[in-house]
Amino acid sequence: MAMRQIKIGLCGAGNVGGAVLELLDVNASFYKEMFDTEFLVTDVVTKSGKLRGYKGKFHGNIHTDLETINKDDSIDVVIEVMGGIDDAYKVAKRALESKKDFITANKAMMSLYGDELFKLAEKNNVFIGFEASVAGGIPIIKSLSSRARIENISWFAGILNGTSNFILSKMESDGLEMQEGVKQAQELGFAEADPTLDLNGTDAAQKGKILSYLAFGSKLDSTIEIDIEGIDIVESIDFKFALELGYSIKPLSVGSYEKDRLILKSFPALIQKSSILSKVNEEMNAIEVFTKDSGSNLFYGPGAGPKPTASSILSDLFDIAQSNRVSYSKFDQDLTEVSNNSFNCQRYLRLEVNDSPGVMAKISSFIAEQNLSIESVIQKEDLAQNDLIPIVIVLDECNENELKDLLNNFSSEKDLFKKIVHLRIFNPSK
């Protein structure tokens, strides 16, 4: 029996695309033996017409027109690693309509068009692989989709952005300010020249949305609203207070579904030092998944980088070779109602106030008026700057609306409160 051949069209040949080409080249003999299949990249599309991320010899065709690959009936699988949304969506749609299997690392596109593309794939009896879209080298897509089919998932919490985790880790360990951490991340290649989507939480939120689809059946389109708060509100002083309280600060994406109530949020959070997630440092990613049947399970590994991402892409390719295809359209449960304001947790408030008598009494009065309770207070006169004293208050659990009302009242007293920083405290066991 002749060895099967799978012909591949690759869209994008930057760092990730180059890593895909390299792994397929270096490990070609091993893959042939393991899967009884020859994986052959016959065509590559790049805007420049050059293979920027690959230094080896390429014997296929190089194009600049994206349509070229989908028009070629000999190509079996299209792999998209070029980034962006609009062009990637066009490539994905045309590939599926042309009855080609499709693999992508594009979390932004999948978070907006996943529903449509899954339905199109099912209609044309082809496969969409998107393991590389979340958490790089961690096989979370397959793991979560398998678990969702046998257990009810209550919640997940993940460190899904390696750049923001690296920055916060360095701020904690080395006492850096945010911009210093960003600079280090850029120098080491963990952050782009423009790190906005990492710092403002958008990247992590897109990944959280994909996980929510698999875990709970929420929509993968523009109808799902995610509450997003970036790490750029965190300052080095917050780590000093967090340490005293027994916490680390981590960038979290959280999803939960209970009693027909979907919560989907991304935010910097205080996490107990005893928690497993608090020990995930620098560029590493981790996802904790909780089910009522088996409790907590942790998935940990490199969240980014060309080689880990390429490995996840190839795992989807190998699934195609083995006819191990999941129909992801079946995960859609049409959950569009999001109840983010019902999210309940303890709160960390750092207030910078004028050094004057009766300040604490006024703060306590504001909090009591909102029927909220104080768990602990830290006041640091020795950290005062420009006659402003930092006061940290840990509030007992309250929801987003209750907290919003309190902060609005604080903000109205501009003569008293010169700065207000709010961070959520994530402690699902409490």
Q: Which residues are catalytic?
A: 207
**How far apart are the C-alpha atoms of 21 and 30, rounded to whole Å?**
15
**How far apart are the C-alpha atoms of 255 and 266, rounded to whole Å?**
9
Report whether 418 contacts 353 (CB < 8 A).
Answer: yes
Report whether 92 contacts 69 (CB < 8 A).
Answer: no
**How far apart are the C-alpha atoms of 26 and 415, rounded to whole Å?**
66
Neighbours of 368 (CB within 10 A): 11
Report whether 398 contacts 347 (CB < 8 A).
Answer: yes
Q: How many residues does the chain have?
A: 430
Dihedrals phi, psi of 427, to nearest 5 degrees: -145, 80
Neighbours of 326 (CB within 10 A): 17
Dihedrals phi, psi of 249, to nearest 5 degrees: -120, 125
Per the DSSP assignment, residues forming a β-bridge with 62 are 44
Within 227-305, residue ranges assigned H as helices are: 236-245
**How far apart are the C-alpha atoms of 177 and 339, rounded to whole Å?**
34
Residue 272 token pair: 């107990």
Strand, coil or helix: 55: coil
Strand, coil or helix: 52: coil
Residue with tokens 């359209």: 329
**How far apart are the C-alpha atoms of 210 and 146, rounded to whole Å?**
15
**How far apart are the C-alpha atoms of 61 and 41, rounded to whole Å?**
9
**How far apart are the C-alpha atoms of 13 and 17, rounded to whole Å?**
4
